Structure 1
């Protein structure tokens, strides 16, 4: 009993790895892609990664334990805290058999998001630092300079409240983001996404993203000869709540005799062209191929729009910064000019 109590309690605690960053996810996917392409099996890959130390021991231990219990590749990635989007794509790829191509697509998908995030950081870093300095200057003016002025004007009154308004806006924005995430987590996913696509600017991006994502996955599954009942069953088994919900509703619609393209048309978060592409592909008997081509076009448009949106942020922030600088100068110089006129 004494020996038992003296054991390290960490032995009994399974450390769950933190959520992987996009960069880390892409590196791991790239490793698996290269090794699968080289002809390695999953067991051999895990053993190689463990011996080569290309992955941390905490990750290879999770992979080894998962393999011993017979988990699939998608389940292993889920244990490694990959995003639901990646896990779902891998899970479907294990069914339609085109795993290497799917991993390559996932690698490109993550790479594009990393580029966009890097661009956002580059665009926002300098303006954010500048805003911080300006906020400090405004607080200093309100604390030391403006109280010494005998005469107050409209600009000085604006300067009195501007720091408070700015900080309140930042806090309100953060609270709003937290509330939106909580609302989305608790709400029914199809209804929530249908509301989100109505948002200006962001709604269009969400619609493009979902259209590209589902067109590619449906195209891969149909292209491998899977029938719709089997595809619907697979959708209902996925980790993604939205994917599962769409699969459930699609199954009910098909049971009622509603065509695939007709049901897809009812979702506002899909582009209208998606249902037309499904109908066109069915007529040509090349539905899988047509959906994959359409998905590639949607992905390209999505990342072009996302990059363009990122490039708009910096000019808008600089305009706001310029306005603040003008207000600061006006608050300091107008009282001086007023005294000179007197």
Structure 2
């Protein structure tokens, strides 16, 4: 009863603000670009929020969230978290607040969000037409099953397959949905180091995950090391971040370093990082240029990641069209084979 009374006594306006919609990727990139440009022009955080509110470049519900966060004394990274930016973006900004190179980090985030937005737009363009074709094909098969095929006296392989294909297709979609749902539940309940160590074993997707994580962590470690932070400081910072994987790696690294293991040797034990990462760390430590080496390597990994994603996008549509073509051939076979059989008789 006390919890109910406390809930009823809460400010209704606060409840409304908690339900604000998540910014789209395009809007997120625009917000990051605005903050980056205004920071570079000498504005401080309070002036930027006031500017966004007066200029209406950001909706009132979002500027109100920023204003409330400022009044509560929250840092910039927490404000982005309140705007429901991803944990990866919030963590990058939080680390930038430590190493001081916020402008560079915002530029990286802006570039990353722009690339992700392009990939998502490309995926929608590639997938929309095939999905429409599959929907029409499914309707045609259902029509054949219910109206045409029952009139055919003799069945053949194509006829039998088309009779059962709608059921098979819908069953496959249902199983796929259940598999994805089960995977999400398993991911949220599992230790993230173990989860990603298993996810990188997946065909095709595993390589993408490995490249993404390698690029992300190489860039963040490179920025921190380049600003003069030593490993104990970096490990301590990692444990305070919003990303669960970031925190778990920080805790694991702290234990390994206290046991006398070197940074590069322990990184090699993580299967979700590329093997070259540990070699780059070892080489950079020898040359005393670890920060710059990791930053350069991270740039190459990001290029590789988005190149792989774009190649994958180019493969999806031809594969779906091939499947649709095979189904059309089966439909014609189901209709024409019985006719040819009757002509022979």
Q: Is 2:17–2:65's contact at 8 Å kept on the other side of the alignment?
A: no
Aligned CA distance change for structure 1 residues 192 and 8 (closer, same or farther; 3 Å):
closer
User: d(CA) in 2 for partners of 1:305 and 1:12?
Assistant: 43
1:249 aligns with 2:256: no
Could you tell me the TM-score, scaled by structure 1's length?
Answer: 0.96
User: d(CA) in 1 for partners of 2:199 and 2:14?
Assistant: 43
User: d(CA) in 2 for partners of 1:202 and 1:123?
Assistant: 18
1:15 aligns with 2:35: no
Aligned CA distance change for structure 1 residues 285 and 194 (closer, same or farther; 3 Å):
same
2:110 to 107, 110, 113: 107
State the secondary structure of the residue aligned to 1:268.
coil
2:132 to 110, 129, 133: 129
Shift of 1:12: 5.6
User: d(CA) in 2 for partners of 1:187 and 1:64?
Assistant: 36
User: d(CA) in 2 for partners of 1:98 and 1:279?
Assistant: 24
State the secondary structure of the residue aligned to 2:335.
helix
User: d(CA) in 1 for partners of 2:265 and 2:203?
Assistant: 26
Aligned CA distance change for structure 1 residues 90 and 8 (closer, same or farther; 3 Å):
closer
Q: Is 2:218–2:277's contact at 8 Å kept on the other side of the alignment?
A: yes
* Alignment partner, residue 32 of structure 2: 29
Query: What pairs with 1:159-174 in structure 2 (closer than 5 Å)?
Result: 159-174=162-177
Shift of 1:9: 7.3
* Alignment partner, residue 3 of structure 2: none
Shift of 1:124: 1.1
Could you tell which deviates more after superposition, 78-87 or 26-35? 26-35
Aligned CA distance change for structure 1 residues 132 and 341 (closer, same or farther; 3 Å):
same
Gaps of 5+ in 1: 1-6
1:268 aligns with 2:255: no
User: d(CA) in 2 for partners of 1:304 and 1:232?
Assistant: 31
Task: String of CA shifts for 1:197-256, please: whole Å, max 9, x gaps.
Answer: 001100000000000000000000000001111111110000000000000000011101
1:62 aligns with 2:65: yes
User: d(CA) in 2 for partners of 1:12 and 1:278?
Assistant: 47
State the secondary structure of the residue aligned to 1:70.
coil
Shift of 1:190: 0.2
Aligned Cα root-mean-square deviation (Å):
1.3
State the secondary structure of the residue aligned to 1:15.
helix
Could you tell me the TM-score, scaled by structure 2's length?
Answer: 0.95
* Alignment partner, residue 206 of structure 1: 209
State the secondary structure of the residue aligned to 2:17.
coil
Q: Is 2:212–2:301's contact at 8 Å kept on the other side of the alignment?
A: yes
User: d(CA) in 1 for partners of 2:215 and 2:25?
Assistant: 19
